[in-house]
Amino acid sequence: MNRTVKKTTKYILVGGAFLALFYFLPIPMIVLLLCGIWDVSRNRGLNAGVIRQYFMRNGIGTWLASPINILFDILSLPYINKGVYELTDLPKTYQEEISGLLKKADEVGLAALIDKKTEGLPRAMYFFKWYGKDIETTIDIPAFHQKYKFVRTIGVSVFRERESTSRHFGPFRPSLRVLYCLNENVGEQAYIKVGPVEHHWKDKKLFIFDDTLLHQSFNETDDPRLVLFVDIIRPSYLPFVFDFAVSVIRVIFKGINGVFYKNWKLVNN
């Protein structure tokens, strides 16, 4: 079966399943559709391709989670979801915790340690903490296993030369994604794109964003690109709600976190 036939068959099956749900559960499905329309409209540079990808391709999981994600947006008020953030957009206590974590990553020479552990792998992830749970690692950095007030995931994303992701949406947003380039020297063509925003690691090492927006990472250089990969709970006057949501996600996906990183080699030894 060629690729075109496979894609056509997939669309027919997915479309048929949703039509059946609309027939048997019209009100919940109308609510879900309206939530999805609102959710996808948050993407800057919205076009037919983004809409198709959200409702019919790898954004379906984000669409299904859209009612919950919209609730997170409401519960985080008055902290409006900016989509793409500067560190100074976050509360002072967040800034201090994140800055301390980034400083420690530089002090221990994390880039060299992870580069050695992932040698020969085109694309790899190395986790120290995942959704609030410490991961046993052979690289011993006690600071990464301490209890943080806001940080819930600490890892390193590794792309070897000429490695890039496809465009994709993250599924849940009780948290924000903090990325920090560990390379001292990185080429112009190593960057992340969120909608029309292109963030080049050469220009600025830190990037913070809502990963349920459509995004894509590129390393079109001839050198590895290593990025510290951090999730923080969203600023809110109800932090316990977001902390609980992160814990629920961890429990549900315990042991199968590879579903989030299926195109990466998970390395922790």
pLDDT tens sequence across 219-254: 999 999 999 999 999 999 999 999 999 999 998 887
26-40 vs 48-56: helix axis angle to the nearest 10?
A: 140
Question: How high is the pLDDT of residue 57?
Answer: 85
Question: How high is the pLDDT of residue 256?
Answer: 61
Position with higher pLDDT, 14 vs 155: 155
Question: How high is the pLDDT of residue 64?
Answer: 94
Q: 177 forms bridges with which residues in the sheet?
A: 209, 231
Question: How high is the pLDDT of residue 265?
Answer: 81
Look at residues 175, 178, 177 and name the one whose alpha carbon lies nearest to residue 250: 175
Q: How remote is the C-alpha of 21 from its chain's centroid?
A: 29
Which amino acid, one-letter code, is at 84?
Answer: V
Rounded to an integer, the average pLDDT of 93-119 is: 96
Rounded to an integer, the average pLDDT of 77-89 is: 96
Long-range pairs of 16-20 with CB within 8 A, sequence gap ≥ 24: none
Asked if 66 and 89 touch (Cβ cutoff 8 Å), the reply is no
Position with higher pLDDT, 55 vs 259: 55
How far is residue 190's CA from residue 225's CA, in Å, rounded to a whole number? 7
Alpha helices in the chain (DSSP H): 3-24, 26-40, 48-56, 60-64, 66-75, 92-107, 110-117, 239-252
How far is residue 179's CA from residue 122's CA, in Å, rounded to a whole number? 19
Question: How high is the pLDDT of residue 8?
Answer: 64
Question: How high is the pLDDT of residue 263?
Answer: 74
Q: What is the pLDDT of residues 183-195, one digit of tens each?
A: 988 889 999 999 9
Question: How high is the pLDDT of residue 269?
Answer: 64
CA dihedral 49, 194, 179, 218 (to 10 degrees): 70
Rounded to an integer, the average pLDDT of 98-124 is: 94
Instruction: List Cβ neighbours of 154 (8 Å cut-off, separation of 6 or more).
Output: 101, 127, 128, 129, 144, 228, 229, 230
- Give the chain's radius of gyration (CA, Å): 19
Question: How high is the pLDDT of residue 20?
Answer: 78
Q: What is the pLDDT of residues 48-80, one digit of tens each?
A: 999 999 998 889 999 999 999 999 999 999 999
User: What's the chain's average pLDDT?
Assistant: 91
Residues of the chain with CATH 2.60.120.330: 84-266
pTM of the complete model: 0.91
Question: How high is the pLDDT of residue 5?
Answer: 62
Share of the chain above pLDDT 70, in %: 90
How far is residue 93's CA from residue 152's CA, in Å, rounded to a whole number? 15
Residues recorded for the chain = 269
CATH fold label, 84-266: Jelly Rolls (2.60.120)
Position with higher pLDDT, 245 vs 264: 245
Question: How high is the pLDDT of residue 176?
Answer: 98
Question: How high is the pLDDT of residue 3?
Answer: 62
Q: What is the pLDDT of residues 134-157, one digit of tens each?
A: 999 999 999 999 999 999 999 999
Question: How high is the pLDDT of residue 268?
Answer: 75
How far is residue 84's CA from residue 67's CA, in Å, rounded to a whole number? 21
